Structures are given as structure tokens and as C-alpha cells.
Amino acid sequence: MEIHEIISPLVILFIIAIFIVIKPKKDIREPAVENKIKLLPYWFKYIGMIVAVIGFVLNFVVDINYPNIEREYLIFTMVFGLLIFALSSEKSEDELLKQIRANSIFSAFFIGILIHLILLFLNHWIGGPIKEYSSIYVIGWMLGVYIGTFYSAKKRLKTLNSMDY
């Protein structure tokens, strides 16, 4: 039995478990128009960090003598950990943090696509094959930009709140 035959069902089961956890609960008192996005609990940040760090370290430290698909699993592990980290709520989620989160997602989408297109152009200009950049890299760029912009905006907000006028 090959490694991808074991990992693929485990990844699918883990994704299903996450969707069960974040599935919004129906409440008849809540208006149907107000569709709230439910984030993962705060402690999922630690799980996401651990998974992302394991994927990152294994991707760059371990010398893999297998076909390219195993390397893709390591990159997928890192991106999946970043996704869990990004979908986790903060200790105290308020409307301002939701607005910062929405702005970060908006900027991450466009900056991630722009970075990916620039890398494709540079790779083509240098003469490399374009197929080297798969969609997992686009998702990785977007998650990296999202996490970076969200936490930098959150830090700026803390700095502004702590200033005495």
C-alpha cells in the first residue's frame, strides 16, 4: 500500500470533520438574511501552527528520494495548516476584527493573484516551464498574505488603542 493511498482518505476525513465543526447551527430566531460565518475555535490555531510548521520543516529539511507527488503532500500539509490557522477565531472576536478579516481576505486575493502572475511571467521570461506553479502555490500565497495583513492590521489596532491622548 502506497503512502498516498493512506494519506488521501485521512485528509478527506479530516476535512469532513472540520466542516462538521464549523457548520452553522440553525436558529429560527436569527433572520435568514444575516448569514454568519462560523470560524473554528481558538485552540485550532495551535493545531494549524503545528501542522504548518511540520509541513514547512519536512519540505525543506528532509531529502525526499520519491517522486514529486510526496513533495506535493508536504506542501499541501503546510498550506492546510495555514488554512486551519487562518480559519481559527481570535480569543475575542468583535465587529472590528471581522472587518479587518474581510479587508485582509480582499487584499490577499488580489495580492496573491498578482504575485502568482508575476512569478509565472518571470518563470516564462527566464525560460522555465510554466507548469511548475500549481494552484497549491496560489493558495499558499493567498493564505500567507491574508495572515500577514490580518495580524499586522490587528497589531496596528492594538498600538492605536494603547496610545494615550
The confidence score (pLDDT) of residue 34 equals: 46
List pLDDT tens digits, range 99-121.
888 899 998 988 888 887 787 77
Contact indicator for 100, 157 with CB cutoff of 8 Å: yes
- Helices 68-86, 135-162: crossing angle, 10 deg rounding: 30
- Look at residues 101, 95, 81, 86 and name the one whose alpha carbon lies nearest to residue 150: 101
pLDDT of residue 64: 57
> Which segments in the chain show pLDDT lower than 50?
32-34
Global pTM value: 0.69
Q: What is the pLDDT of residue 157?
A: 85
Tens of pLDDT, residues 153-162? 988 888 887 8
User: Do 54 and 77 contact (CB within 8 A), yes or no?
Assistant: yes
Sign of the CA dihedral with 26 first, then 30, 32, and 33 last: negative
